[in-house]
Amino acid sequence: MSLLRRVEIPIAITIIFALIQVIPYFVNMGPAVEATQDKVVRWTLIVSTGALLVGLTSLLLIHVPRVTRRRTHWEYSLLLIAFMFLMTIIGLPFPELNLGLTGYWFSFFYNNVLTPLSASLYAILAFYITSAAYRAFKARSLEAALLLISGTILVLRNAPLGTFLIPQIADLGDWIFNIPNMAVNRAIMIGGGLGAMVLGIRVLLGYERGYLRGGE
């Protein structure tokens, strides 16, 4: 097998760079190791910025064929491509042409197109959630009833009118939030943390190969 296709090389790179990050986090390894760690962090930042280009390419690979082959809703794909390039061009740092992130045109499109669209999309959730809750939030079992009661109490606790009409709802809501909710969330966090640790060890030992295009 060609040297470049050997799986040991990316695994070795992963192990080396992971150890450079992990060990100095717990143990003081001296200025040389810390400087290397800083350099690796900076590489990560550069790579993550470069990932934007991957995103751009990926979007084009999906949407350009949709437009050229006139697939269903190809008009939306065309709109997406057009606005992607428009925002990229007007976001270029040429302040003398009123371009750039703080320029007039970028702010204009951002404030008058993207902001209202995003806010509307988020606001629509309230309508969907109410409709969905009306249909699905039913006390079909003991567990569902408990969820229903605690959810309703917290909704009432979050509404100024709820605490105004029933002042005790504030204490009850706080109790649900601070005791059962906190306990469950801590359990999830601890479980997630342990899982991440195990995954990290598996990656370090070379057992986890999902990131190598699927692994075995």
Partner 1 sequence: MATAPRIWEKLETIDARIIYLILWIVILWPFIYPIGLPVSIGSYSLAYAKAIDDLPAGSIVVVSFDFSLGGLGELYPIAIATLHHLFTKPVKIVIIAIWSDGAIVADMVLKDLKPDQPPYNRKYGEDWIFLGYAPGGETAMAALGKDFWSTLPTDYYYKKHVSTYPIMQNLRSANDVTLLVSLETGTPGADEWVRQWYVPYKVPMIVGCIGVMAPTVAPYLAGGQVKGMLPGLRAAAEYELIIGRKGLGVASADALSTSHMVFVIFVILGNISYFMRRRSK
Q: Which residues contact 199 (CB under 8 A, 6 or more apart)?
A: 208
Q: How far apart are CA 130 and CA 147, in angstroms?
A: 16
Q: Can you tell me the distance from the alpha carbon of 24 to that of 17, in angstroms, rounded to the nearest whole number?
A: 12
The SS3 of residue 1 is coil
Residue 134 lies near partner 1 (rule: CB under 8 A): yes
Whole-angstrom distance, CA of residue 216 vs CA of residue 63:
32
Of 88, 93, 90, residue with least CA distance to 59: 88
Residues 139-158 within binding reach of partner 1 (CB under 8 A): 139, 148, 152, 155-156, 158
Stretch that binds partner 1, among 3-11, 65-73, 172-180, 207-215 (CB under 8 A): 172-180
209 exposure class (CB count in 10 Å sphere: 0-12, 13-18, 19+)? middle
Of 93 and 215, which has the nearer Cβ to partner 1?
A: 93
The interface region with partner 1, picked from 59-67, 68-76, 181-189, 207-215 by CB under 8 A, is 181-189
Tell me which of 182, 197, 198, 205 binds partner 1, using CB under 8 A. 182
- Which CB atom, from 80 or from 156, has the smaller least distance to partner 1? 156
Q: Which residues bind partner 1 (CB under 8 A)?
A: 25, 38, 41-42, 44-45, 48-49, 93, 101-102, 110-111, 114-115, 118-119, 121-123, 126-127, 129-131, 133-135, 137-139, 148, 152, 155-156, 158-164, 167, 170, 174, 177-178, 181-182, 185-186, 189
